[in-house]
Structure 1
Amino acid sequence: MNKVITKLILVASFSFLLGCVHTTEHDALAVGKIDAQALLSNYQSFHTPHRQFSLSDRQIALVKQWPRSVHIEVYFGTWCHDSQREVPKLLKILSHNQAVTYNLIALDYQKTEPTGVAIKDDIKFTPTFIVFQNKKELGRIIERPKTTLLNDLDEIIQLKGKL
């Protein structure tokens, strides 16, 4: 009986410690520009989905067709579950076309950051992906894609980029 109680106490203690580790990540907010490597290295909630997401050969071929004049501003929160779902996917997608540039801009809980670009770009929700071509805004994906992130990005780039 004592062994069972001891094991239960150990399991409960271990579970409590795991909960503390998870909370610590959320307490360490990233705010401002951050590179993909730092995001994926320091935030498990971004690293794991990034590692698990994959593209088919057809999807990779599609991404490789995007022009080098495309740039994406990525506004997100390390604390935001929508960001934790969509930003890792975007990073995996963009890893297949190094010509497409992007900036990762982490926001605080008020959706601001020190330089004021989030206010200038009228960011209200996270994540917000703003797609540019030749410095002209083509479109935005706000919080979640209508279909899939890849399909929505491709639609913005292929359709609106030709206007």
Structure 2
Amino acid sequence: MKKLLLTMLSTAFISLLSLSAQADDFALGVVSEAKLLNDFSVFETNFEAFSVSEQEQELIAQWPKTLKIDIYFATWCHDSEREVPKLLKLLKANKHINARLIALDYQKADPQHLAINNNIKYTPTIIIYRDETKKEELGRIIERPNKSLVQDITQLLL
């Protein structure tokens, strides 16, 4: 009985925190790029400030058209504010790549439980898949790339 009560209280507490995050104008769950850039000025500012070199554009254009990218991030996270706008701008060089933005709360959770199902512990976590089936995860970039987003993703594709 105590376990059940504790579980119920924990669930209620997490739900309240999620609602609190929404009330504080945090994004939560799957969001569009347009909504992220329109509603969160720091993401839009960093997106506009970042430039993609011709060499990077050429590399990205060669990435497979079937590539799927899940981007787990938080609008309250400084690493996300830095890396997510860069990745979104980079992906403009290959319109075929499908990227999904999943905004998380302070507990690294989302309403669809996508983060929990994918063992997300840090933001941002960028998961690269070979194709839409998401059966073959090529790798992850967690918090920040080792070299650069383009170099790290290109290395995963080799």
Q: Which TM-score applies when normalising by structure 2?
A: 0.82
**Higher Cα Rg: structure 1 or 2?**
1
State the secondary structure of the residue aligned to 1:66: coil
Take 1:131 and 1:52, find their aligned partners in 2: how far apart are those partners?
25
Runs of 4+ displaced beyond 2 Å: none
Give the deviation of 1:56 after TM superposition. Answer: 1.1
Q: What code does the residue aligned with 1:74 have?
A: I
Equivalent residues in 2 for 1:98-113, closer than 5 Å: 98-113=95-110
Match of residue 35, structure 2, among 10, 17, 38: 38
Residue identity opposite 2:123 in structure 1 = T
TM-score by length of 1: 0.79
Q: Report the Cα offset of residue 27 of structure 1.
A: 2.6
Partner of 1:66: 63
| % identical aligned pairs | 47
Mind listing any 5+ residue stretches in structure 1 that lack a counterpart? Answer: 1-25
Partner of 1:147: 147
Gaps of 5+ in 2: 1-22
Instruction: Return the alpha-carbon distance in structure 2 between the equivalents of residues 112 and 131 of structure 1.
Output: 20
Find the counterpart in structure 1 of residue 117 from structure 2. 120
1:64-117 C-alpha deviation (Å, 9 max, x unpaired): 000111000000000000000000000000011011101000000000001111
The aligned length equals 133
1:1-44 Cα deviation digits (max 9, x unpaired): xxxxxxxxxxxxxxxxxxxxxxxxx9311000000011001101
Matches within 5 A, 1:18-33: 27-33=24-30
- State the Cα RMSD in Å: 1.1
